[in-house]
Amino acid sequence: MLLSQSLLQSVLNITLQAGEYLKEFYKQDINIYIKSDKTPVTNADLFLHQFIIEQLNKLTPNIPVLSEESCNLPLSERLTWDAYWLIDPLDGTQQFINKTDQFSIIISLVQNHIPTLGVIHSPILKQTYYAMKNYGAHKLVNNKEIQLHPKTLSEASPIKISIGSIGTKNQLQKLLNPNQAYEFKIYGSSSLKTTLVANGDADCYIRLGKTGEWDTAAAEILLSEIGGAIYDLQFQPLTYNQRETLINPDFIMVIDNKFDWRTIFNTKS
């Protein structure tokens, strides 16, 4: 499948329309269900799941769609895919339920196990970040496209770390170099912490806990286009559609892949 600006624009249009539907759900009382993994899902998740799949099937009929809400496919079947769409219809369902405004819609394209296109759209915060291989990374501000740029870090400066909770900050103490200064930024859904890194508002985001490949695929292409990266705690890259499980290991997401992050994080087991 050939990447093109036309394809990217079509995916942006689908994501933005999904965002309009999500804003309507946000105004209403919602139905909450508990999935088998004990996490919540709402009627908004399920509606957007169906809508996005239908729209992507119209756009690219021969490319399968893998969603967080329909991911129980064996690896033997998934390995036959050269390309597939990977989506999280509502990243940050708990934030959506709690009315924090900090949730988003994620659509990614993965080709030969590598994310090559990604969109992260937060309709309430009016933030849209997107990237495509060899096209660069961008954000939409007041309907104007702004290109994102690499950032070079210095060990002399405080390292700004995006995290999900105070509890994560406490867990991190044993991993952090005590001789380095830090600033912590507590923020909403996983993808929105990604946008803090991509925008330069945070230098890294560390996740100790369960996420899916749908949570990080758009982040992979967004960051790679501006010199960033995602590593597991052994500083190895994450994988896509290469394991029976779609659950990610704990990871570190960084804005500058040339910085020696091993001087910051002592992750040796």
Establish whether 68 is an annotated binding residue. yes
Q: Cα–Cα distances in Å, from 204 out to 1, 207, 215?
A: 32, 10, 16
Establish whether 140 is an annotated binding residue. no
Quote the DSSP letter at residue 265: B
Quote the DSSP letter at residue 235: S
What angle, rounded to 10 degrees, do the helices at 190-198 and 213-224 form?
10
Establish whether 88 is an annotated binding residue. yes
Establish whether 91 is an annotated binding residue. yes
Strand partners, 205: 162, 253
Q: State residue 51 phi and psi, 5-degree precision.
A: -60, -50
Establish whether 250 is an annotated binding residue. no
CB-CB contact of 116 with 222 (8 Å)? no
The amino acid sitting at 151 is K
Annotation: binding site for Mg(2+): 68, 88, 90-91, 215
Annotation: binding site: 68, 88, 90-93, 215
Annotation: binding site for substrate: 68, 90-93, 215
